[in-house]
Copies of this chain bind each other. A is one copy, B any other.
């Protein structure tokens, strides 16, 4: 186990009927609120009206940043930061999933950043400056952004999607009400769960020795997601399923399973290029890439961890080691298929391989996968993995 710091101060309010606590929370920061949300699903679900009832009772001055895209854009961040300056915003309130929260983190910081925000904030990758306080209301179990200090922002003109980390970006309070995810579509529920699983697998498949605590927690959270995603798809308003998916999503990326390990995430680096070039759903991109990545790096060195993954997560028994590992990868693939996730790139609109070489170069350039990955990946590895995603695959 490597040395690490763990300091995650977000105040989690988990459960149903907690929103009455929101006014008191907002008031600790001030009356001027920037409400950030996405495509309007919070209006359909009734959450928007509930919020305004609370704002009105509470004499909040609310400014809105609406229409935040999945893979949130630097232009939206710019607009939000400007709104904060013009309206003396005291607190940023994202109501949505990871994209809305990520965008809000960038807005909260960029309120204090001048000049070109892409250059002066995103390209720095690490932010040490101040930020407005952030209070989140989560409506999608996926990214874990509600309890960490990272945001991922896209520049669609330059086709670049990059993460920025900063202590001040950590939300002060996050409201996690599983009933707010009842109305999430099957597709987004499955994609969100694929994102959770990816966060767990990116940390689990890692070369740092002696990290049993982290690995056991990762396995436990993976098993929880695999148990409850099918139930949430079948019964969208099953509280137990939604609650376990939500809490698993938060814990999957708050440091519990990643701290104490060094190394680089491979699939996220490759997926960020897919999203940047083709604006596909992040979790779906990860689901497509992960089994092919696993098959690509399976060798004598990585075999023990893949064998453990197959045995502990997929209950594969009685086969020799390599076949056990392969069956595990197949079961992951089949699980994603069974949850309705499109598992090839053509199914998400990527019909040709024309950009793969450039994307491979960029995946390596924008990350440390070529020297710090579980298995280092070079441009040709990335291209080969992208190519394997072009058609249905069998791993056994």
Q: Does residue A119 face the partner (Cβ distance < 8 Å to B)? A: no
- Cβ of A212: which chain B residues have Cβ within 8 Å of it? 223-224, 227-228, 240, 244
Q: Does residue A343 face the partner (Cβ distance < 8 Å to B)? A: no
Chain B residue at minimum C-beta to C-beta distance from A2: B15
B4 touching A14, Cβ below 8 Å? yes
Binary contact track A298-313/B, C-beta < 8 Å → 1, others 0: 0000000000000000
- Cβ of A247: which chain B residues have Cβ within 8 Å of it? 1, 213, 260
Q: Does residue A29 face the partner (Cβ distance < 8 Å to B)? A: no
Of B9, B220, B228, B260, the contact of A9 (CB 8 Å cutoff): B9
The secondary structure that dominates the A interface is: mixed
Q: Does residue A18 face the partner (Cβ distance < 8 Å to B)? A: yes
Chain B residue at minimum C-beta to C-beta distance from A238: B210
A12 touching B5, Cβ below 8 Å? yes
Number of copies: 2
A216 touching B210, Cβ below 8 Å? no
- Cβ of A211: which chain B residues have Cβ within 8 Å of it? 244
Q: Does residue A13 face the partner (Cβ distance < 8 Å to B)? A: yes
B210 touching A221, Cβ below 8 Å? no
Interfacial residues of chain A within 215-231, with CB under 8 A of chain B in the complex: 216-217, 219-221, 223-224, 227-228
With the chains together, A1 CA to B176 CA distance in Å? 13
Interfacial residues of chain A within 192-247, with CB under 8 A of chain B in the complex: 209-213, 216-217, 219-221, 223-224, 227-228, 239-240, 243-244, 247
Going nearest first, the 8 A-B pairs with the smallest beta carbon separation are A3-B15, A216-B220, A210-B240, A6-B12, A7-B11, A9-B9, A1-B243, A220-B220
12 of the cross-chain contacts (CB-CB < 8 Å) are: A1-B239, A1-B240, A3-B14, A4-B15, A5-B14, A14-B259, A209-B240, A212-B224, A212-B244, A216-B224, A217-B220, A219-B220
